[in-house]
Amino acid sequence: MAELVLDARNGTGESPVWHAAEQALYWVDIPGRAIHRWSQAEGHRHWATEEMPACLAATATPGRWLAGMESGLFELSLGQESRARATRRAAVAHAAPAMRFNDGRCDRQGRFWAGTMSLDMAAGIRAGAWYRFGAGDSALPAQLDDFIVPNGLAFSPDGRTMYVSDSHPSVQAIWAFDYDTDSGTPSNRRLFVDMNPLPGRPDGAAIDVDGGYWICGNDAGLVHRFTPDGRLDKSLPVPVKKPAMCAFGGPRLDTLYVTSIRPGGDLSDQPLAGGVFALRPGTQGLPEPAFAG
């Protein structure tokens, strides 16, 4: 059963990251232009950002994060002020006007991967791409393209398999790649799961210690687990229609935190939409790698 962690009322709560050293959960509200932090000991606080933040990775420096935003990747300093201080690390050359970053995280070696999408999701523009940013990089070349809404990024426990999805209603697929951990290069793209016959669009994801791939079923109020061979193993419900992304956390990494979206319109059937929830999935996750740069 899902437990409410915080009635955050986020427009689009995304990119939950468990910070083990702080025993705290961080995440973003994309349209709210905010970075959020919650811990059992200290409660909730947030920082405003100039651009819409979409994905986060911790860095080796306490209080500093790497974020994919609208115009590029930024290093954010989260201090006592109410606003994050931002320094742009790399600009992005979007393939079309009015785009932003979306899903993203670090590979097991600490390289940051993030995908881009059009702000007009309904238009179905295939301008989305995946970018990789590592230590010493300044440019941000596209590594994979032809996506509408890139999502579902995750890496297997050994780092040698990379997963991505496309959440757009016209696609609804998850792919797996062989991943060269030395060069950070994906290859051998193949369909991992066709989500069209299953409930929910494939949104944000996480990996457990056994290589199980957990992905939010957006519009269906479910979080699915797929085995490494692509078989649907279980589906756990949350009390909102649009779970957005999940992340393992807690002292034993055995809690699955789930952020969600608060759409417009009548929410009488899902008053907690936009909240953050905790599931007890019966397994453990892996520490989230920090950005090595």
Q: What is the pLDDT of residue 291?
A: 98
Catalytic residue of the set 29, 103, 166, 203: 203
Measured CA to CA in angstroms, residue 122 lies from 126, 258, 286 at distances of: 11, 24, 34
Q: What is the pLDDT of residue 82?
A: 97
pLDDT band at 231 (very low <50, low <70, confident <90, very high): very high
pLDDT digits (tens, 9 = 90+) for 255-272: 999 999 999 999 999 999
Find, among 261, 292, 273, 269, the residue nearest to 32 by Cα: 261
State yes or no: pLDDT of 286 exceeds 90.
yes
pLDDT digits (tens, 9 = 90+) for 117-160: 999 999 999 999 999 999 989 899 999 999 999 999 999 999 99
Q: What is the pLDDT of residue 248?
A: 98
Q: Residues for the chain: how many in total?
A: 293
What is the pTM for the complete model shown? Answer: 0.97
Q: Rounded mean pLDDT of the chain?
A: 97
Mean pLDDT over 18-37 rounds to 98
Distance CA 208, CA 78 (A): 29
- Count how many Cα atoms sit within 13 Å of the Cα of residue 275 in the half-sphere of its side chain: 18
**Residue 165 and residue 215 in contact, taking contact as beta carbons nearer than 8 Å:** yes
Looking at residue 121, the DSSP 8-state letter turns out to be: G
Residue type, 7: D
Sheet holding 3-6, edge to edge: 3-6, 276-279, 255-260, 243-249
pLDDT band at 209 (very low <50, low <70, confident <90, very high): very high
- Known active-site residue 203: yes
State yes or no: pLDDT of 293 exceeds 90.
no
**Residue 118 and residue 96 in contact, taking contact as beta carbons nearer than 8 Å:** yes
pLDDT digits (tens, 9 = 90+) for 47-77: 999 999 999 999 999 999 999 999 999 999 9
